Amino acid sequence: MDERGLNIFNNLERMKIGLDDKFKFECHMCAKCCLHRDDVLLNPKDIYNAAKELNLTTGEFVEKYCEAYIGSDSRIPIVRLKPRGSVHRCPLLKDRKCMVHRSKPTVCAMYPIGRCVILAGKTAADIDMDSVQYIFNKPDCRGSDGPETHTVREWLESFGIPIGDKFFILWQKSVTKVGSAFREIEKKISEETMEILWNAAFVGLYLHYKTELDFMSQFEENVQNFTTMLHSTFGDMLEGRE
Ligand code: SF4
Ligand code: SF4
């Protein structure tokens, strides 16, 4: 878990906020929060949206602006924007403006609100909208002086992020299920085979999209194909697991 993730985990109770709770925030568009960024993680929808806005394929976008690594806890491929220079500038910051302003990564669009899933002993199959928890990450900048006041519900709606976000739930189910399977499989196969499996997950879940086609139907098909392959190839190692 990175430093920001650890901070949120340790302060979760204090940072929790309800959908109709109010918070004070007014962004001054100074772009300071796009510097010193090592933690802008992208999900497949973020990659699809940004690639589409920049008229690139998802593969070209990831190669140009991102890097992938295996999560130390989750054991699945994670994709993040690769910071540049000594100030760790977001690679999508140009002339103090976001190059994908209309389709910013979800974590940037929602900021200073964050969203996570509380598993509390649940399996992937149990994850639903009731498992979603919102957090208010008080910005360390002029934005926190207000004076604008918002509810979480209004804030998300203003950025076109649905409250009942079907993609978010399916993505959380998928990473929980695939992560659990990978942690089990990793104990039993060689490092070389695991590398092949990680690469298949990276390509199959994050890159295998055509930006001229609808995202959600491709995502559902990719998840279905990958989990089917996982169970048909490694089913004996996963018996009795989610
Ligand atoms: S969130 Fe804060 S640091 Fe970021 S652009 Fe707005 S005012 Fe500036
Ligand atoms: S994606 Fe855009 S909003 Fe997010 S850190 Fe980069 S430049 Fe800033």
Pick the most confident of 9-23, 32-46, 95-109, 202-216: 202-216
What CA–CA distance (Å, rounded) separates 53 from 104? 10
For the cut 70, the answer to whether the pLDDT of residue 242 exceeds it is: no
Check pocket membership of 62 for ligand 2, CB cut-off 6 A.
no
Give me the pLDDT at residue 7, please.
63
Domain co-membership, 171 together with 231: yes
Give me the pLDDT at residue 3, please.
58
**Closest CA to ligand 2's atom 8:** 34
Sign of CA dihedral 68, 16, 98, 34: negative
Going by C-alpha positions, the residue among 116, 65, 110 that lies closest to residue 91 is 65
Give me the pLDDT at residue 120, please.
76
Task: Tell me what percent of the residues of the chain surpass a pLDDT of 70.
Answer: 94
Place of tokens 């007014």: 26
For the cut 90, the answer to whether the pLDDT of residue 13 exceeds it is: no
Q: Which two tokens stand for residue 123?
A: 């399996």
Give the nearest ligand 2 atom to 31 CA: 8
Tell me which residue range forms the domain holding 129.
3-158
For the cut 90, the answer to whether the pLDDT of residue 187 exceeds it is: yes
Asked if 211 contacts 58 with a C-beta cutoff of 8 angstroms, the reply is yes
Domain co-membership, 210 together with 98: no
Give the nearest ligand 1 atom to 29 CA: 5
- Segment 53-76, tens digit of pLDDT: 999 999 999 999 999 999 999 999
Domain co-membership, 74 together with 148: yes
Last residue of a domain, one of 116, 135, 158: 158
| CA distance between the termini of the chain | 23
Last residue of a domain, one of 135, 158, 181: 158
Which pLDDT band, with edges at 50, 70 and 90, does 4 fall under?
low
Domain co-membership, 66 together with 111: yes
**Ligand 1, pocket residues at CB < 6 Å:** 27-33, 139, 141-143
